[in-house]
Structure 1
């Protein structure tokens, strides 16, 4: 059989262990692992048929994932050996670098206090190395055995198993035993999780835990996790009151509370000003579209599972809540004959759309079912493509810099050429689009990662990635090339010679959705927002109730200049009122008493600085107005 590894062809007479294959090709298996498609292979896996393998260097992230995965296997074995009638579950995306997890089903649901025996067993297994790695696949210990078997019964590969007594679990990720040295474990959370995050499935039980070499390292890891929790936008929201989600309205359907509506509108005002500066024109389109519209665009075939169920109308028309805005913008383009003089044509819309996400994957504002996208579609001639792409990247850069958003990396998102279902099947179109996009990135001298299988179904894209407090990598902004939809919708413009030509379409997500962007903003700022977009900009606090009238007078002057204030006139101690304003992360805290009343002044401090400054009311108002209007 022929195995291609790292683009080198190797002839093998019989099935071979991955570790032996690496050794045969002088590759150090302590430095490299291999992937088959999207699956990382353990060194103990057996390659038994012709296949292509990708060589991956072991970095810190992969090492952490391997470490956590090994701990996950050992915890699952501990559970199996501690309780009768228990089955472990393989969940989507259940291997990560931050924490470990074990999801399982039992006849009688476990209680938290029962888990102590499991952690003791976990330590015992490690210390005595009771487990062994074997070349066999026994799926008897799994929940949903048939689904698990079908997923890992791969024709080209035999996966190994880890065995403890009579219990066996498949190894589906590299386990680097020589680098595994954990001796301590701590359970962080004991909760429930639907099978594969699907609310129509059974609610299983889940243990989240961490491991470490010793108690000191364990304490450090737990502290870091607690600090990350403080950066979680859902936790920050508890004090700032930005959004809420009511199951009575629906899962994944957030609504903006007054503070959130102010924050969102201030961001929107800024973004639309930037779009005007870059000569985008605003349009508006319906939240519904016909099924025929999405069949034409290709969304119905390639994106159907992420769309809400169609709405059957009495007149036999079928409507869909739109998951994307591009087909609507295409219709605007087609509403009249276009000339080459009209191009580039830049449509922008901050548009409501709906995508069906599994309930188990819904996460605050980060992943929702109803959202408002800062969307744009640009129609260009081929000669204009490069300049427009650069302008889009420049616009996005200016916006993200204004909010001081920290980028993790740029992703050149490409199709998987073997996946003919997820991507439109036209090799020449894809090869041309991907080559042009990569050439532009090189010309801009940008560092980027190639991410195969992450493209949109219609074309390649540049995704700007950030990391959330939970360690999720998510897209904040995107620029996508599209040669397909102009063809499907038969778009044309009349060139300088009076002949019809097809335009190229650029999809631009300025800051993604408002929901996701606000989640990112809250996490990266810890909720300490700049004055111009803070829901409450100034807290006004009287020293005692006899200065309430002066507070009202000062507030009226600020309100007249459109500055958002909160008078803290409740019957409470001064220090408590100041502490409450700090908890709400209000940029300015103003205190008014007898001295201020007599001098027509005020004393203020900022959220970030405890220094108290006295200033004339008029001068303070001018200072704050300047800061607000110029978005300092």
Structure 2
């Protein structure tokens, strides 16, 4: 008999050889019908895998992220089989699950595929799925595996990097693929599929290697799930920040300036400025000091910090001076510069904490195929800050930063978020700098602070920065997509590498602890997410134009200007549409520009010294005084923009 521990802590005894599906059946037939994947002692296995030792078992259904991962992993196998049958001679490479769906990278050889082929591939996948073929794992020797793929250089390369005895294949129907496992019981569970797009992708992400065709797809256990997802995609297209950014005249890109380098237009620059001023005001109350650092730094600066060793390959190449033996890098991070600012003076424990904040622009080389609007760029601005404190101050400082992040989210309408404590990968210590003792102290400090603040967090191994663990805020937008925005990190290592000190009460020199912090993260990415989350309908306090004045004819322009002055005196951002267009066209275009309020000016309004107000979306507020309208806007602002 073996002892199986379930997630609720209960322990059940079974005969050796029992499968996860057998365990599910022992709990309930209903659960067994839903189970599609499992983990045993932390390792993903098939639901038909025999269990021969004591251990902990987790069962997953479609509702679980791990269940979806297995479902989409299995669907990628079905896609690969469909491609192999439809396009003979194509060479398969890899096909993993992703956040929403899956893809397969394929060398199609003489074949080309486009959107017109999607339906054919979908039909073939569903034909295969209806066969209800079991997914079966089997071990194979390295020599046998190489023989199977002797004509496929991509699979051969993968196999050559694997150890003999660790290689497995997955079979279903007449198809087999190199695979580590993690599948649903059979193809019949796949009821709906959609090929979403095709794109170019370099083999193993290396632009010096062959370019493949990446086929993206998604699948579901019910047709209605696919229908709902496609409706969500349509809504996402309407909210695409690239589309809205163009319509609202916020930003643009230029091939001559360079890919991944956004240009902020006047309205976008004003939007950024308001976001910066919003955070600066909160930071000032919290005791931060603003600093400014250069866009470049000597290579040695980043060698000292460890960034060059860890990120050198992903950074722009060094800039060499023409007459001197110097090398500079475009700044990939702000923290080394802030360390040098701290080091420019000698501090006492009475001076700490020191809180340096900067909206610092940094540069990282992203491959052109991975650039995407504002969410993936080569130059971006971080709302960065670095706090230098004593061990006794660490807990309070970390919690204060949590409060600041929550204030930012609340003021911008991000109410659906979760948190994760990102710690080291214990299997790969070479990825990190510093000693184990400091890492353990830093990780525990974050966990304690998160618990004390009542955050519902999960611990994610392997997600830490190379210099320290962090608390990441994962935000779900209006479309249900998850983004990592705010982050707070505890760092014992950079103070050591930069030899930072303060004089303690014992008159001895000590190392400060460093907290890295960015509530927005990247300003570019944050604006993109905010655009898509709100559909361009920003909180009223952030809108570039809070009210637009639309006069029915030129006769009322003088009164329109008077209303504009009154609004500006009330610190309301407004403008007058002077164009000689019909009032109907002005209203339609104002709706497209997402102006929160439209003020209609005509004969009656001028005669009574009032304004007619129409809200974005069509609600008519009637004729009111300018003062009454100012009060409406101030009340709207107070609903979201609280004091910090």
TM-score normalised to structure 1 length: 0.87
CA distance in structure 2 between the partners assigned to 1:65 and 1:327 by the alignment: 38
1:574-613 alignment, distance < 5 Å: 574-607=583-616, 610-613=619-622
1:279 corresponds in structure 2 to 287
- Whether the 8 Å contact between 2:319 and 2:328 is mirrored in structure 1 is yes
**Deviation sequence 1:398-419 (CA, Å, 0-9, x none):** 2221112134311111011221
**Gap change, CA 1:568 and 1:419, over 3 Å in 2:** same
Larger CA deviation: 345-354 vs 420-429: 420-429
Q: What root-mean-square deviation, in Å, do the aligned CA atoms of Structure 1 and Structure 2 show?
A: 3.6
1:33 corresponds in structure 2 to 38
**Deviation sequence 1:560-596 (CA, Å, 0-9, x none):** 6554334334344323321221222111111111111
Match of 2:80 among 60, 76, 81: 76
1:209-288 alignment, distance < 5 Å: 209-213=217-221, 215-288=223-296
Q: Give the CA deviation at 1:558.
A: 3.4
1:473-552 alignment, distance < 5 Å: 473-552=482-561
CA distance in structure 1 between the partners assigned to 2:159 and 2:17 by the alignment: 21
**Gap change, CA 1:247 and 1:498, over 3 Å in 2:** same
1:144 corresponds in structure 2 to 154
**Deviation sequence 1:325-365 (CA, Å, 0-9, x none):** 11111111111111111111111111111122233332222
CA distance in structure 2 between the partners assigned to 1:452 and 1:195 by the alignment: 27
Match of 2:458 among 449, 463, 475: 449
- Whether the 8 Å contact between 1:142 and 1:148 is mirrored in structure 2 is no
Q: Give the CA deviation at 1:277.
A: 0.4
CA distance in structure 2 between the partners assigned to 1:191 and 1:31 by the alignment: 30
- Whether the 8 Å contact between 2:129 and 2:187 is mirrored in structure 1 is no
Secondary structure in 2 aligned to 1:389?
helix
Q: Give the CA deviation at 1:56.
A: 5.0
Q: Please, which runs of 5 or more residues in structure 1 have no aligned partner? A: 8-15
**Deviation sequence 1:170-194 (CA, Å, 0-9, x none):** 2344111258523343333344444
2:215 paired with 1:207: yes
2:130 corresponds in structure 1 to 127
CA distance in structure 1 between the partners assigned to 2:21 and 2:438 by the alignment: 37
**Deviation sequence 1:448-477 (CA, Å, 0-9, x none):** 110111111111111111245787643211
- Whether the 8 Å contact between 2:133 and 2:186 is mirrored in structure 1 is no
- Whether the 8 Å contact between 1:199 and 1:359 is mirrored in structure 2 is no
- Whether the 8 Å contact between 1:42 and 1:171 is mirrored in structure 2 is no
- Whether the 8 Å contact between 1:17 and 1:44 is mirrored in structure 2 is no
CA distance in structure 1 between the partners assigned to 2:219 and 2:313 by the alignment: 37
**Deviation sequence 1:66-106 (CA, Å, 0-9, x none):** 22222221122111111123123326xx4135334333222
**Gap change, CA 1:34 and 1:159, over 3 Å in 2:** farther
CA distance in structure 1 between the partners assigned to 2:637 and 2:39 by the alignment: 54
2:12 corresponds in structure 1 to none
CA distance in structure 2 between the partners assigned to 1:134 and 1:443 by the alignment: 45
Secondary structure in 2 aligned to 1:421?
helix
Q: Please, which runs of 5 or more residues in structure 2 have no aligned partner? A: 8-15
1:98 corresponds in structure 2 to 100
Q: Give the CA deviation at 1:150.
A: 4.5
**Deviation sequence 1:372-419 (CA, Å, 0-9, x none):** 111111111111111111111112212221112134311111011221
- Whether the 8 Å contact between 1:47 and 1:158 is mirrored in structure 2 is no
**Alignment length, in residue pairs?**
614
**Gap change, CA 1:114 and 1:445, over 3 Å in 2:** closer
1:135-534 alignment, distance < 5 Å: 135=138, 136=140, 137=145, 138-139=148-149, 144-150=154-160, 153-154=162-163, 157-163=166-172, 165=174, 167-177=175-185, 180-196=188-204, 199-213=207-221, 215-314=223-322, 315-467=324-476, 473-534=482-543
- Whether the 8 Å contact between 1:17 and 1:43 is mirrored in structure 2 is no
CA distance in structure 1 between the partners assigned to 2:639 and 2:225 by the alignment: 47
CA distance in structure 1 between the partners assigned to 2:327 and 2:456 by the alignment: 45
**Deviation sequence 1:504-529 (CA, Å, 0-9, x none):** 11111122121122122222222211
1:66 corresponds in structure 2 to 70
2:576 paired with 1:567: yes
TM-score normalised to structure 2 length: 0.85
1:11 corresponds in structure 2 to none
CA distance in structure 2 between the partners assigned to 1:379 and 1:504 by the alignment: 6
Secondary structure in 1 aligned to 2:519?
strand
2:11 corresponds in structure 1 to none
- Whether the 8 Å contact between 2:491 and 2:513 is mirrored in structure 1 is yes
Larger CA deviation: 295-304 vs 439-448: 439-448
Match of 2:116 among 106, 113, 118: 113
**Gap change, CA 1:469 and 1:168, over 3 Å in 2:** farther
**Gap change, CA 1:301 and 1:5, over 3 Å in 2:** farther
CA distance in structure 1 between the partners assigned to 2:374 and 2:557 by the alignment: 38
CA distance in structure 1 between the partners assigned to 2:352 and 2:121 by the alignment: 66
CA distance in structure 2 between the partners assigned to 1:45 and 1:320 by the alignment: 52
**Deviation sequence 1:204-255 (CA, Å, 0-9, x none):** 3343334345654543332233223334333432432322222332222112
- Whether the 8 Å contact between 2:380 and 2:524 is mirrored in structure 1 is yes
CA distance in structure 2 between the partners assigned to 1:284 and 1:478 by the alignment: 21
1:614 corresponds in structure 2 to 623
Secondary structure in 2 aligned to 1:128?
coil
CA distance in structure 2 between the partners assigned to 1:201 and 1:530 by the alignment: 46
**Deviation sequence 1:544-568 (CA, Å, 0-9, x none):** 3443443344334434655433433
CA distance in structure 2 between the partners assigned to 1:235 and 1:53 by the alignment: 51
**Gap change, CA 1:53 and 1:160, over 3 Å in 2:** farther
Q: Give the CA deviation at 1:148.
A: 2.9
CA distance in structure 1 between the partners assigned to 2:567 and 2:120 by the alignment: 62
